[in-house]
Structure 1
Amino acid sequence: MRGLWLVALGSALGGSARYGVYRLAGALGLVEFPWGTLVVNALGSFVIGWFAAASPVESIGARQFVMTGICGGFTTFSAFSLDTLGMLRNGESLKAVLNTASQVALCLAAVWAGHAAGMRR
């Protein structure tokens, strides 16, 4: 039951932070491309990579809180998918391809960089 509460609290924090990033992107006028989604997915990928490398495997509670809770609530594959579908439906095929390529490339690079940073600690 403790794990459930750790994940729930982490998810609430991660989801709230994602909402904040989306609001900031909107306030900055970054609405022509899903920059908010790209930022949360890349940053979340970095954090989960770093934490996976830096935290002991035995730290089950901390991993549940950060990796499953915070990172799970912060990042969003569903928003990425919906953004891309909207682009395709609007005839913006090139933008959809760029969104897909940038999400995958940046998030893989971010999780690699985070993991490498965590291994050096």
Structure 2
Amino acid sequence: MSGVGAALVALPLLSEFVAFDPEPAHVVGTGGAIGAVLRHGIYLHLSSERFPWPTLAVNVIGSFVFALAIFAGAGESTIQLLGIGACGAFTTFSSFSVETVQLYERGDRRLAVVNAAGNLVLSLAGIGVAWLVVAVVSL
């Protein structure tokens, strides 16, 4: 079984071993801290003056990961930690919006459209890939 397949199998099992029910705000906050640090790392490694690659990357990856958790049937605590917390802090609509406007204002109208369309299409594609992964692993 591949690493992704093993993770999908382990995800629902992991929630069975968690015997405590911490306050949802703490779970979301912990996930948020993890997501924010990971996002910062992506920005350090992918920053470009020409195109907002880091924002595109975090939005696509975050959409995939959140969808993977949902489609794999993750429990409420896992969704709070991973989806709302980590993916919520990892992904960004505000940066995407501002960067798209900045591209447009500096005269890179074509790149602004590519950025807007790319974020939407590739993020939705990430969700589709997550759905396919879960469907294939579930066979």
Q: Once the two structures are aligned, what percentage of the paired residues are identical? A: 34
Shift of 1:91: 1.7
Q: Distance in 1 between matches of 2:51 and 2:108?
A: 11
Structure exhibiting the larger radius of gyration computed from Cα positions: 2
User: TM-score, normalised on structure 2?
Assistant: 0.79
> CA RMSD for the aligned pairs?
1.3
Structure 2 residues not aligned, in runs of 5+: 1-21
Name which of 2, 19, 33 aligns with 2:40: 19
CA deviations on 1:67-116 (whole Å, 9 max, x unpaired) are: 10011010001100010011111121111001011111100000111122
- Residue pair 1:25, 1:31 contacting (<8 A) in 2 also: no
- TM-score (structure 1 length as normaliser): 0.90
Mapped partners of 1:72, 1:15: distance in 2: 9
Higher relative contact order (CA 8 A, sep 6+): 1
State the 1:118 CA deviation: 2.5
1:120: how far off?
3.5
What's the counterpart of residue 95 of structure 1? Answer: 111
- Runs of 4 or more above 6 Å deviation: none
- Other-structure match for 1:6: 27
Quote how far apart the aligned CAs of 1:117 are: 1.3
